[in-house]
Amino acid sequence: MRNKKGLIDLWEIRPGELNWFIGAGGKTTTINKLARGLNYHNTIISTTTAILKPESIPHRVAFINSYQELYDEVAKYSRSSYSNQQVLVLASAQKPHSLSRFKGEKLLGLNPEWLTAIAKEFPEFYYLVEADGSANRSIKIPADHEPVLPETIDNLFLLQGLSPLKRSINKNFDKRIMHRADLFEHSNKKPSLSSYKMLYNPLNWGHNRFKNARQIRFTLTQIDSNILGFSSSLIDYLFKEYIKLDNLKSITAVNYRKKPEIIYHSNREEYLNSGYNKFKRY
């Protein structure tokens, strides 16, 4: 029997906390999904890198050039009636999408410390922030300057997509499916449990960033029934490998395109209490 909890409950999305999304394979889609789950109520979306301008959710974009402008825009949102029915999107500028096959514009990012400060000033809002780029690839390894995060992190979501398993099971990861593939140093460059483990390795993402996060949530996107067994094994593998991270709270596998959407979830407490992965569908 399926549980009826959604991602808002499973991930404990709360007002006043900043939720930072890094990795690849569906950061923007996940942010938009959460905004819908919040019914667009008191919801602020922003980025520290670049994000595709929302097209499918009610929103207003505000362009910010200073912290004072940021404060003024959020204060105006706080006083307005549309904060109950429209998302506020904060950015510094906009530009055409660099990939011609994508319509719409990219919104450019803000200073992450500004966003941390504004959340303290206005704790009544939900904050969803894209803090990494992936050039629309399903998986990635970060460069030294990535991701763009503040010193103190509330909730950190690391995403990687599973679609390479379906379309290139006998092929190496390369730039067609992996952002910064030239930085991926692993003996097995084909999709496998060990190679995906490396994609989540804290050493690749800056161990201090993981250490400074209050909560970390690994997320596997683009799951389907053909790779459900692999996904379950990967979740178990990641828990066993990284359970020493005290702030690793859960691992979730999702596919938003399926109808009904697919959500599998396993949390830290269940894993520690049972000694094995309880992979529940929601």
What are the backbone dihedrals phi and psi of residue 209, each rounded to the nearest 5 degrees, phi first?
A: -65, -45
For residue 249, the domain's CATH number is 3.40.50
In a domain, 235, yes or no: yes
CA dist 26 and 138 (Å) reads 8
51 lies in some domain: no
Domain contains 84? no
- Domain contains 180: yes
CB contact at 8 A, 173 and 38: no
Structurally, how many domains does the chain consist of? 1
Distance of alpha carbon 11 from alpha carbon 6, whole angstroms: 9
pLDDT value, residue 1:
43
Q: What is the pLDDT of residue 3?
A: 55
Examine residue 81 and state whether it is found in any structural domain, yes or no: no
pLDDT at 148: 95
* Residue 61 within any structural domain of the chain: no
Regions of the chain with pLDDT less than 50: 1, 100, 169
Q: Does 161 reside within a domain?
A: yes
Q: For residue 208, tell me if it sits in a domain.
A: yes
List pLDDT tens digits, range 62-101: 999 999 999 999 999 999 988 888 999 999 999 876 654 5
Cα–Cα dist 91/111, whole Å: 10
Burial of 139 (0-12, 13-18, 19+ CB in 10 A): buried
pLDDT at 211: 81
Q: What's the domain range around 155?
A: 7-42+123-281
> How many CA atoms does the CB half-sphere of 73 hold within 13 Å?
24
